[in-house]
Structure 1
Amino acid sequence: MLKDKNIFLRPFIEEDSEALLDLLIRNRSFFEKFSMERSIDFYTRESQRKRIEQFEEDRKTDLAYNFGIFKHDDSLIGTINLFQVLRGSLQSAFIGYFLDEQYNGKGYMTDAVTLVIDYAFNELELHRIEAGVMPHNIGSIRVLEKSGFHKEGIAVKNVKINGKWEDHQVLAIINPND
């Protein structure tokens, strides 16, 4: 478990499937502005239970690390993950996250990103973490910059979101111990 004064992060467990489903359903239209469209099957308890099983398998095989973002009253308010973990000469991963719309702008995601960066650099011994954010998502770019990421450029039409190829601002952070 990773924690600070406002939140804690922990890997998902099967018992989280209902809370995860609730978070996704409540925020569906908000989240889909920034990510791929999901099939109706995605929004079922069984689908979320299977996703949580896959999260555990990905962790065991060092491919991805998925965490729930919880307030100290144990309520799930978001998700954060390191994915496409590459070892060897790269030692890198991408970061992705979603936060319940009602908690945006309160510092929770900056706290979560900071915790994941510390985990990635000190526990996983990664060298670089990269993020891609649609340029109009100013809040997300601010979260990353406050967490130490720097802008590297624009990846033109690199992610298909809601049927349209979208540009993404590329940001990255390098392990200061390397």
Structure 2
Amino acid sequence: MTALHMREGGPNDAPATLDLLDRATQWLVTNGRTGQWGSDPWSSQPASVRRIRRYTQDMTVRIAELDDTVVGVSVLSDQPQPYVAAATEQEMYIRLLVTDRALAGKAIGQALVSDARTQALRRGIGLLRTDCYNGDGALVHHYRKLGFRPTRSILVPTPGTEEPWPCQLLEMRI
């Protein structure tokens, strides 16, 4: 396998991002873990497609590639998700982090987090935050291994359902 290559992304990367999200969702469904994103492909949900298009147009998109194939995507913002209170200092927020599940264990997520740290340092930002699904704790554990520290748990209202989405906020000092 050749070396992982990082590059700046943009609107043209929306289809590849949706493809990774669809495959990650299918992996979650196969493993009985539908609480994170449900069971429908992202590309079949108009609101999700609009969200990814908005992300790739308006935010910093970082692409991980192997042999010119997109194998991971992170979306960075200076603002947290709408359901998260802003930090009391300047921050970089990882709005999305997804990797190719077929390449699990190849440290692609680690490389994207390292790249986010580098992007924050270039901007003089000392706080990197993100959030993730906290239904079974597995993803929180993974983010801890990537260097994040859990800070606060919240329940995010989910339109169309009575069940809120269990969310864990995490941070990393740079």
TM-score by length of 2: 0.68
- Give ranges in structure 2 of 5+ residues lacking alignment: 81-85
Partner of 1:65: 60
Matched, 1:26 2:23: yes
The 1:148–1:29 alpha-carbon spacing in structure 2 relative to 1, beyond 3 Å, is same
- Give 1 or 2: higher strand fraction: 1
Matches within 5 A, 1:1-178: 6-13=3-10, 15-30=12-27, 33=34, 34-35=36-37, 38=42, 40=44, 42=46, 51=53, 55-56=56-57, 58=58, 64-71=59-66, 73-85=67-79, 90-95=89-94, 96-120=96-120, 122-135=121-134, 136-138=136-138, 140-155=139-154, 157-158=155-156, 160=158, 163=161, 164-175=163-174
The 1:75–1:119 alpha-carbon spacing in structure 2 relative to 1, beyond 3 Å, is same
User: How many aligned residue pairs are there?
Assistant: 157
Using the alignment, how far apart are the partners of 1:113 and 1:161 within structure 2?
30
TM-score by length of 1: 0.66
Offset at residue 103 of structure 1 (A): 2.0
The residue identity in structure 2 corresponding to 1:78 is: G
The 1:132–1:30 alpha-carbon spacing in structure 2 relative to 1, beyond 3 Å, is same
Identity %: 17
Offset at residue 80 of structure 1 (A): 0.8
The residue identity in structure 1 corresponding to 2:158 is: K
